[in-house]
Structure 1
């Protein structure tokens, strides 16, 4: 609940200080589950490096499609597991924030999490492939993410109202 209530307020921060936004996502979701001194803090130097890489991507001014940037940010956080816990939730929340902050889903009406849930087996296998670090796995993740985003758009409450 804490995450859902505060998440969208972090979208502007994602554009200027993505590491702070990601740390805040973790702090919101893991509060009470991990010691306070671990909230929003990477587990180790390698995890901090991976988060810096995600931040660089988000600040890079890339012309890559926002859906691809969201998918890569999600997969990087999910596979690096930089925090002591709740990495999957942070990764999916970050994905949503990227979609909001880059204008793909400015009002956060799409439900990408529903797409991932509907395609759970594919989600898990494609994350493993991405985590292997080979181009084929990254490609497979990107294709999977497009399917999941489409399923998430179908799950939108607005979609149901239009029918």
Structure 2
């Protein structure tokens, strides 16, 4: 019998409870009545807010309304916007060819930021390559844990490894969102999880650093943060839904 490599994570203190609570918050938010007739509008707003938040976490902070108005030309922000628009198109291939999708995400994120000849090219470091291989196995069905836990591990690993030059964090956050999309946890892309990371940025940075140590306490810290960010994403969905209904 094959042992699930991520199953022990659910035995860390409070993690199973945190995951369950986040799932309940998401399920509640997904029942918002704005999604019945205005789902496309909600998805577009979530994508915009996610892109702005992801760029900000990379150090490129811009006002959301300026971005909405099309006046921001910063290449990192533009890359985050390109990724937000492209994610649904990668859903069907993410679990089949995760390495190739990661390369494509980097091309989208880093165009105009790094030289063209390094776009989509991960680090040649043997240790990094081995961990990416392990991550690809998990994404391709190598675990049966909650999609939230898998997305957190995908995110945490890519932040720790930073296998691509330039805005590698944008790629990590996109890969985590793609994991939620492809596993059916968030099939329509309605959770602005990156907003949760930005709203809790000191915790995000600290927990990511703790995860990189590989200790049980470090991993636990990251998983707790990720569940909290998912809850913020659910709250964002409710807020956006209310705003859409108010202007409909």
TM above 0.5: yes
1:50/1:82 contact within 8 Å kept: no
Q: What residue in structure 1 maps to residue 104 of structure 2?
A: 24
Rounded to whole Å, the distance in 2 between the matches of 1:159 and 1:146 is 23
**TM-score (norm: length of structure 2):** 0.63
More deviation, 63-72/46-55: 46-55
Identify the match of residue 54 of structure 1 among 135, 138, 156. 135
Contact 2:160 2:212 (C-alpha < 8 Å) held by counterparts: yes
Structure 2 match to 1:127: 208
Find runs of 4+ consecutive structure 1 residues off by over 6 angstroms.
Answer: none
Deviates more, 1:153-162 or 1:10-19: 153-162
Does structure 1 residue 80 correspond to structure 2 residue 151?
no
Tell me how many residue pairs correspond in the alignment: 163
1:15 aligns with 2:95: yes
1:3-59 CA distances to partner (integer Å, 9 max, x unpaired)? 122122111110100111111111111012112221111122233222212111111
C-alpha distance in 2, partners of 1:111/1:29? 18
**Taking CA–CA contacts closer than 8 Å with sequence separation of 6 or more, which of the two structures ends up with the larger relative contact order?**
2
- Displacement of 1:60 after TM fit? 3.1
TM-score in terms of structure 1 length: 0.93
Alpha-carbon RMSD across the aligned residues, in angstroms, is 1.5
Contact 1:153 1:159 in 2 (8 A): no
Deviations 1:49-75 (A, max 9, x none): 222121111113421000000000000
Q: Which of 1 and 2 has greater Rg?
A: 2
